[in-house]
Amino acid sequence: MTTRELTCVVCPAGCRMTVTLDDGGTVLEVEGNTCARGKNYAVSEITHPVRTLTSTVPMKTAAGKKMLPVRTDKPIPKEKLFEAMEILHGVKAQAPVKTGEVLIADFIEPGTNLIACRDEI
């Protein structure tokens, strides 16, 4: 049995959690979390950490060039963040766009989309 100390990143409360694992790496117990999402985060962080990626892509609008904020609509595997950034460097958007509009479907992972984070006419 081993234990690991984690700081929850789910919300700004930043709960300090202690996770107990068996020798095979299976999570036995999570302590210190104050909500169910915290527990899920702890298990995911130990088994396969994920993060929501946010960035910007250049966008053509009627008024000229602008940066469009974008994000993944689900967290993606942490180790794929730089691979995702590499893809984003080749992406260009075209106004009009709506908040939540899918710019790239199945981005990095099947079922995960890259979406726009603001309205632009």
84 close to 106: Cβ distance less than 8 angstroms: no
Encoded tokens for 48: 């396969």
98 close to 111: Cβ distance less than 8 angstroms: no
- In this structure, is the dihedral angle defined by the CA atoms of residues 40, 10, 46 and 105, taken in order, positive or negative? positive
Encoded tokens for 121: 């006419």
Tokens 């789910």 correspond to what residue?
10
Q: Identify which range of 20-28, 78-86, 104-112 contacts other proteins by CB under 8 A.
A: 78-86
Name which position in 8, 30, 76, 93 contacts other proteins (CB under 8 A): 8
Give yes or no for residue 10 binding other proteins (CB under 8 A): yes
Name which position in 2, 29, 67, 83 contacts other proteins (CB under 8 A): 67
Give yes or no for residue 74 binding other proteins (CB under 8 A): no
Site string for other proteins, 82-111 (x = CB under 8 A): x--x-------------x------------
Give yes or no for residue 28 binding other proteins (CB under 8 A): no
112 close to 72: Cβ distance less than 8 angstroms: yes
3-state secondary structure of 41: helix
Q: Identify which range of 11-19, 21-29, 105-113 contacts other proteins by CB under 8 A.
A: 11-19
**Binding interface with other proteins (CB under 8 A):** 7-12, 14, 16, 51-56, 58, 65, 67, 69, 71, 78, 81-82, 85, 99, 117-119
